[in-house]
Every structure is written in structure tokens, then in C-alpha cells.
Amino acid sequence: MWPRRRFLRIALIGFGAAAVAAIGAFAVIWVLTPIPDTTQELATAQGSVIYYRDGKTVLANRGVDRKNVPLSAVPKVVREAVIAAENRTFYQDQGVSLSGTARAMWSTLTGNQIQGGSTITQQLVRNYYSGLSQERSIMRKLKEIMISLKVDRSKSKDWVLEQYLNTIYFGRGAHGIQAAAQAYFRVDVGKLTPAQGAYLAAVIQQPSNFANPTGAMLTAAQARWKSVVDGMVKIGAVTPAQAAQMTFPELKKQKKPLSLSGQNGYMLAQVVGELNRMGYSDEDIFQDGLKVTTTFDKKLMAAASDAVADVLPEGTPKKVRAGLAAVDPGNGEVVAFYGGRDYAQSEWNSAFDAKVQAGSTFKAYALAAALQDGVPLTQRYYGNSPMYVNGAAIPNSGGSSYGSVNLVQATQYSVNTAFVDLGQQIGLDKIAAAAEAAGIPAEQLAQHRKAATFPLGVASVSAVQQAGAYATFAAGGVHHEPHVIRSVTDASGKTRKTDTTGRRVFTEDTATDATYAMEQVVTSGTGTGARLYDRPVAGKTGTTDASAAVWFTGYTPQLSVAVDMFRDDNLPVTIPGYGELYGGTLPAQIWKAFMTTAMEGKPVKEFPDPVTYYRWDNDYYRPTDDEEREFASDEPSPDPTPTAPGDDWNTPPPGDDGGQPETTPPPSDGGGPDDEPPVTEEPDNQQPDLPDENNPPDVPVGTR
């Protein structure tokens, strides 16, 4: 008896010591295992949704597909379906279920798994908090249990369930119950039926297999769904009669990820770039659940692509690129653009990234500079060809001479020598200032602003810059910075809208007269190919030396659009059947095709009447054909050559293969003076009408 009693005493002491040690160890672990104060990035990340300008049509998704919702937004029967599937004692247990762990082991052995071994609290802790890996180890499991117990003591059950429903992965790329409701049934979570809620609860167990089940996997999904419904009956979520009426729900076809091909990639790249400039990091975009409403009009984006595709003939060389940008003059919103054939093939954006010589579209800024300086449209300038500045000959297109021309005629027929004369008289700095005021960055003008040919467009610009600058004229001299984002709403519902306040850079009279002169370009000048027969249009053609870049930029009172064409390698833009292009040909036709769609159904708005152009203009000066005027300045002007190869602001885009052009284009030999010939059969003989006492000169008439 004594040995037995002694053994029992020792055993009891040992057991007690072990128990005390276990309790002590538990206490130590309890103290040393606080609830983490950080969460896993994936658990809380909400991807951003980017919309077209209507704020409803999705353009793209970035980051994790999750939209957090409060527990109250989830129907009670859907919550109970998840509880029935994952943790039927959720509202009774302490956050940890030993029986559940044992049941999980048994289910694994039998292959008939109905419930997971971990409680909802344990699953949340494992997937929500930082510092808990997914590895299978005793220490990790012990840590999970400790934190789960603490969470259960410090947080409400509803809080745990809300975080769980927003955290768990449901397959089809959907994180959280709201994203899952959209992914599987195209409804918000609040509109889920009990049968649909039961299916989403069933998916939690095997999200990949049950995302799009077919064949044997569909049978398994149906069986799992039925077991969840049975569980809902057992916990009282639905009655047996209600369960009997439930049928396996029809799953919507899974949406394909939004493609970045075509124009989508170009749009997304511009949006992300502007968000970065606004102070949003890539992490913000991918994880903070932003709702971004862009300025892009889906219909007009398609119209831009269609205009280019329909106008460019078959056989257009792949190295020939076209860019188009459309800007709302009233707020600077870029409503549409054409960035290239396919973003998936080339990320170089012809509308935003490509900066090519402006050619004669730049003359609009010289015109504005003169008007702003008090020069009237009736002021006359030298229009014969060539004109010599510091010994350098600057010709008109085709060597045409026009005699003395006023600013309307100089613009209408794009007379190079007249604009060089203008620049010499008012000063090139004023032209640079006007271009900057309209939105052309100063750094793109810096190396050219002392050249006599500066007014002729030797500086390089992008299509969106040109559209935004010409929008200044359409807006009566008020400039709005072009932008692609209307508003950004964060996950808390706070909205940040883009400031569209414009700034006056030209007087209203300057914008009015510049518009009038550019109207004549379209009605009877070099840009008749862009004429819209139901409404007035103002614009300007542009062609650089040897057609290295060709432009048409124009506007109605409601929309400003720039179209350019160029080659990757800066060589002449030639099209089979067209030869070397002028801005008044294919660019003007693309502009017209786009604007025909864009203006469809829009009210016809008229431009205001000119301010400084009169019916009687007798101040004519006509030099003889062999007359030449020479100008001398205190400082010699640079030779009239265009931007040299390697110019940072005229760097061609990468080739189609992603590399740089194989050849370096030779420097131009004309300084960018060539432009469209006047629209006459014999341009060399086209001269302004001489004044006649009985027959006033044939010039456009203004009312003021």
C-alpha cells in the first residue's frame, strides 16, 4: 500500500506541477502575445475603380477587388449562411473551438468536410493581422489561439463578423462579400437572395474550384451548397419549408479583366500619371479604394479611333503615327484622344508623349501676340518670297509671293514671310510669351525663341498642348489647364474635385480677332478640308519642312481638337497615293471626321464678330516681285533651321519594336517655313485685290 500511495502522491505532485507550469506558460504567452496593431496589406486593401466621365461606366480597376461594407448592409440571412457554413457556434464560443479542431481532423480523414476546423475569429486573426504566417506549426497555431481569445474578449462579435466578411477571399478575384456579390451575381450585397448567400458561403471553402464549376466540380459545388442550406435550417436561419423552396442559384458569367489593349491602356496610363502628380502614390491607387472619375467620354474616345482608322488609307506605313486630342474650352477637360494603334504594342502616346514641330499651327500665337500688343487685323506685313533676315532666305511655300497682306490674309494663306516680318516688328519675346500664356511650356520654346523662324513653328509641342492652347481662343482668352481627372473619392466618401478655374491670358478682343482670322483658314484658306457645313470652325494648318510633321488644330465654341501626323524616325510623312502630306489633307480630314461625330446633336454656336477688321481697308502696299526687304537687328538671329536631331523636345518615340529609330534624320534645310499652298489653281498669282474707288477690296467683312 505504501509504495502505491507514494506513487500517487508523486504523480499528483507531478501533475500539479505540470498544471502550474502550463498555467504559468499560458500566462507568459498571454502576456507576450498582444493583438497586433497592424493589419496585412492584402486584408484591408481596396482597389481603385476608374470611371469614364459619367461616373458610372467602368474604365479600369487597379489593385485588389474589394469594397468594404458595414455589417448592416449585409442581409441577416446572408450572414447566417456564412455562420452556418464556417462556424455555427460563432455567437456562443470564446473565439476558439477545440471541438471544431477535432471535427476538422475527422472531416479531413473521412473526406466529408462540412465545416472548417477554425472559428470565424481564428480565420479572421490569421488573415487580418500582421505577424501571422500561413505555415503549419505549433507555435503559429498557439499564437493564433492567444490572439483569437484576446480579440473575442476585446471586440464585439459583430465587429469580428464584419471584418471577416470584408476580408475573406471568394474566388473570381473578389475579396469581401460586396465584391463577391458583384462577381457572381451582378448585384450589390444588399440584394443577395438566401440561395445566393448560401452559395457565397459555400465558395469560402474552395474559392478556386467553385468560382466557375463544371462537371464533377459543379456536382461538388451543388452538394456543398445543399449542406450550407441544411446548416441554415439547423441554426434557424431559414425554416425547412423555406429551404425546400430554395434552388441552386444561376451564376453569372465571369467578367473578363478589362483589357489594356487599344486606347484603354493609354487612358489608364494618363490617369495614373495625373493621380501621381496630384499626390496619390501607387500604393494609394492599389490599396485605398479610390473612386476616380476621369474626363474621358466613352463615345468620343471611340470616335477618335474611328476617325483615324477610317481616314488613313490602307498601306499607311507603320512608322507613320497619328495623334488626336480634344479639350473642352470651358474647363480644360480632355474629353477624348487617340494615343496610337494599340497600347499593348506600343506604350508611346501620340497625343500626350509625342512632341513634334508645330509648323504653321504656331502662327496662331504670333497672331495673338500682335493683337495683344495692340496691332489690328488690318495691319499689313511683307508677303513676298523670299525674305532675308541677316542674310538667310526665308521663303513661302512654293516660293509664292503675296505682296502686302493684312493679318487675316497672312493667316488665311499661311504666309511665312508675313509672320517673320511680324516677329521682327513686335519682337520674338512677345510671341514666346503668348505661346506660354496659351499653355505651351517655356522649356519647349527656350532654344528657339531667338530664331527669326520662331513664328513659323520650329518648336515642338504635343497634340494635347495644342488642343489646350487653341481652347484658350475658343474660351475668349481664358486658359484652362488640360487635365484627365474630374474627381477622386476616397474610401471614406470624401471627394476631391479638380480645380477648373481658368485664368485670363488674352483680352477678349484678342481671342475674338484671332478666331476670326482662323475662321478664314477653314472657309477659304489652307484648311477647307476641315469645314463643317452646319457650324463655324476656326483653325490652322501646319506643315514642317519636308512634311516631317503635319497638323490641323481647330475649334468650335464647344470643343478644341488638335490632330498631328509624324513618323517615328522624323523622316517625311508620305502616304501611298498622297506623297508628302500637308496639314490641310489627312490631318484636316481626321479632324473633320471626329468633329462630325462630336458635334452631332450639339447646338450651333457662333463666334463673335471681329473687333479690328473693317470693310474698307485701303492701306495696301504691294512691292514688285523683285523687291526684297532686309532686316537687321542688334543681335544676329540664328539661321532659320528647325529643331536639330537630338533636341530633347523633339525626340521621336521608340520604334514599333520598342527600340530607338534605326536612323537619325538629317537636319532640315528650310527652317520650317514650308506650309500649305493657298487653295487656288495658281497660288503664285494670288494677290490681294487692289483698292478701287467704286469697287471695295474683296475681303471678309466684320461688323465692328
pLDDT computed for residue 492 by the predictor: 86
CA torsion sign, 75 to 79 to 82 to 83?
negative
Task: Reply yes or no on whether the pLDDT at 114 is more than 60.
Answer: no
Task: Reply yes or no on whether the pLDDT at 634 is more than 50.
Answer: no
Distances in Å between the alpha carbon of 223 and those of 216, 408, 515? Answer: 11, 81, 73
CB 66 within 8 A of CB 170: no
Share of the chain above pLDDT 70, in %: 78
Question: With bands split at pLDDT 50, 70 and 90, how would you rate the model's confidence at 697?
Answer: very low
Upstream peptide bond of 608 is cis (omega within 30 degrees of 0):
no
To which H or E segment does residue 62 belong? Answer: strand 58-62
Task: Reply yes or no on whether the pLDDT at 644 is more than 70.
Answer: no
Q: In this structure, what are the phi and psi dihedrals at residue 680, rounded to the nearest 5 degrees?
A: -145, 160
Per-residue model confidence as pLDDT tens digits over 463-479 = 999 999 999 999 999 99
pLDDT computed for residue 2 by the predictor: 61
Rounded distance between C-alpha atoms, residue 623 and residue 569, angstroms = 41
pLDDT computed for residue 26 by the predictor: 54
Task: Reply yes or no on whether the pLDDT at 537 is more than 50.
Answer: yes
pLDDT computed for residue 132 by the predictor: 65
Question: With bands split at pLDDT 50, 70 and 90, how would you rate the model's confidence at 18?
Answer: low
Distances in Å between the alpha carbon of 227 and those of 192, 243, 475? Answer: 19, 11, 66
Task: Reply yes or no on whether the pLDDT at 326 is more than 60.
Answer: yes
Average the pLDDT over 67-81 and give the result: 95
DSSP of 450-506, one letter per residue? TSTTGGG--SEE-HHHHHHHHHHHHTTSEE---BSEEEEE-TTS-EEEPP---EE-S
Share of the chain above pLDDT 90, in %: 62
Q: Give CA torsion, residues 422, 426, 431, 434, to 10 deg.
A: -120
pLDDT computed for residue 62 by the predictor: 85
Per-residue model confidence as pLDDT tens digits over 392-416 = 999 998 899 999 999 999 999 999 9
Secondary structure (3-state) at 125: helix
Task: Reply yes or no on whether the pLDDT at 536 is more than 50.
Answer: yes
pLDDT computed for residue 452 by the predictor: 95
**Which runs of E-coded beta strand occur in 74-185?**
none
Question: With bands split at pLDDT 50, 70 and 90, how would you rate the model's confidence at 1?
Answer: low
Report the catalytic residues: 86, 360
Task: Reply yes or no on whether the pLDDT at 635 is more than 90.
Answer: no
pLDDT computed for residue 142 by the predictor: 76
Average the pLDDT over 155-177 and give the result: 93
Question: With bands split at pLDDT 50, 70 and 90, how would you rate the model's confidence at 135?
Answer: low
**Amino acid letter for position 562:** A
Per-residue model confidence as pLDDT tens digits over 244-297 = 999 999 999 988 777 778 899 999 999 999 999 999 988 888 888 999 999 999
What is residue 345's DSSP assignment? T
pLDDT computed for residue 192 by the predictor: 96
Average pLDDT over the chain reads 82
Query: Whole-prediction pTM value?
Result: 0.76
Question: With bands split at pLDDT 50, 70 and 90, how would you rate the model's confidence at 700?
Answer: very low
pLDDT computed for residue 134 by the predictor: 55
Rounded distance between C-alpha atoms, residue 166 and residue 68, angstroms = 6
Task: Reply yes or no on whether the pLDDT at 164 is more than 80.
Answer: yes
**Which runs of E-coded beta strand occur in 93-176?**
none
Rounded distance between C-alpha atoms, residue 339 and residue 343, angstroms = 8
Average the pLDDT over 437-464 and give the result: 96
Which pairs from 140-144 meet CB under 8 Å and 24+ separation?
A: 142/29, 143/33, 144/118
Per-residue model confidence as pLDDT tens digits over 647-686 = 333 333 333 333 333 222 222 322 333 444 333 323 323 3
pLDDT computed for residue 344 by the predictor: 86
Task: Reply yes or no on whether the pLDDT at 645 is more than 50.
Answer: no
Question: With bands split at pLDDT 50, 70 and 90, how would you rate the model's confidence at 525?
Answer: very high
In the numeric block, the cell 473612386 is attached to 291
Task: Reply yes or no on whether the pLDDT at 314 is more than 60.
Answer: yes
pLDDT computed for residue 516 by the predictor: 97
Longest dimension (CA), the chain: 149
Angle between the 157-167 and 177-185 helix axes, to the nearest 10 degrees? 40
pLDDT computed for residue 671 by the predictor: 31
Rounded distance between C-alpha atoms, residue 137 and residue 140, angstroms = 5
Sheet with 387-389, side-by-side order of all strands: 392-394, 387-389, 630-631
Average the pLDDT over 446-454 and give the result: 94
Looking only at the bridges linking them, the beta strands covering 48-51 and 58-62 are antiparallel
Task: Reply yes or no on whether the pLDDT at 310 is more than 90.
Answer: yes
Task: Reply yes or no on whether the pLDDT at 47 is more than 60.
Answer: yes
CB atoms within 10 A of CB 493: 7
Identify the residue with better confidence: 479 or 701: 479
Identify the residue with better confidence: 108 or 529: 529
Per-residue burial over 375-409, b = 16 or more CB atoms within 10 Å of its CB, e = otherwise = bbbbbbbbbbbbbebeebebbbbeebbbbbbbbbb
CB atoms within 10 A of CB 447: 16
Task: Reply yes or no on whether the pLDDT at 22 is more than 70.
Answer: no
pLDDT computed for residue 422 by the predictor: 97
**Amino acid letter for position 152:** D
Identify the residue with better confidence: 637 or 98: 98
Average the pLDDT over 114-122 and give the result: 72
Task: Reply yes or no on whether the pLDDT at 69 is more than 90.
Answer: yes
